[in-house]
Structures are given as C-alpha cells and as structure tokens.
Amino acid sequence: MDESKALSILSTLANGINPSTGEVFPPDSPYQQPEVVRALYVATRSLEGGNRSQKSRGPLPTNAGKPWTEDDDRRLLAEFDRGQSLQELARAHARTVAGIQARLEKHGRLQPSAAAPSQRRQWRGNGQQNPA
C-alpha cells in the first residue's frame, strides 16, 4: 500500500467514517473515542509530513481530532462551495488538510481517491470536476 492510500484511510477513520462504506461509525465505536481519534490524527500528520520531526512541524491544529458540529459542517461546505482551497479551509477550521479532505468526502464534495492530496481533483455537489 502506498502512503497516499494509507493517508486517505487514516484520515477517513479519524473523522469517524468507515473508509470501505462511507458510513459514520456509531458513537460506541472505538473509532469515535477521543484518544483513538487523536492517535489517528498523529499518524495522519506523520504521513502528511514525511520524516520531519514533530518539533519542526509544530503542534496539531487546535481542532484536530475534535468532533464536528452541524454548524462546523455548514460553514465548511459553504466555504468550499465558494472556492476556498483545502489549505485555507484547514487554517480557518484549525484542522489538518487531511481532516478537511475526509470531511468533504463524507459530504460528497470530494471523491475519495488514492491520489496524493495535491493531485486530487475536487468534485462539486453539482457533478462538475474542478482542478485541485
């Protein structure tokens, strides 16, 4: 398995979504426990950053691993639909780029892909494809 596919799977799991089915895990699932979610985000961050040390990368964004509220989702989708980049969305929501990608995949705004994040194409809700 290549690192980009592993990153995609870890990101999806960290957002409480079954990567095989796209379904949200039930609240009692181990994938919904805060410590497990944080561990998945640490692993995701490691894959995103290659071999750089944690010190050079800095701490995880403040909302990494935290549950998404309905308001967070509405805001994310509206900003994405207005054309904000994944990096801009990650900064605005204090989350990782991988976390943003997984959330947009969950809501059908991005098509799940094994491609590296920089090589992904964005799929809008209207079925039109836009370069990432």
Question: Tens of pLDDT along 93-102?
Answer: 999 998 998 8
Question: Tens of pLDDT along 26-61?
Answer: 989 888 888 888 888 888 888 877 544 444 557 889
Question: Tens of pLDDT along 64-90?
Answer: 888 899 999 999 999 999 999 999 999
The candidate with the shortest Cα–Cα distance to 122, out of 131, 113, 26, 107, is: 131
Question: Tens of pLDDT along 4-25?
Answer: 788 888 888 888 888 888 888 8
pTM of the model: 0.51
CB within 8 Å of 78: residues ≥ 6 apart? none
Q: What ranges in the chain are assigned the alpha helix state H?
A: 3-14, 34-49, 54-57, 70-81, 86-93, 97-106
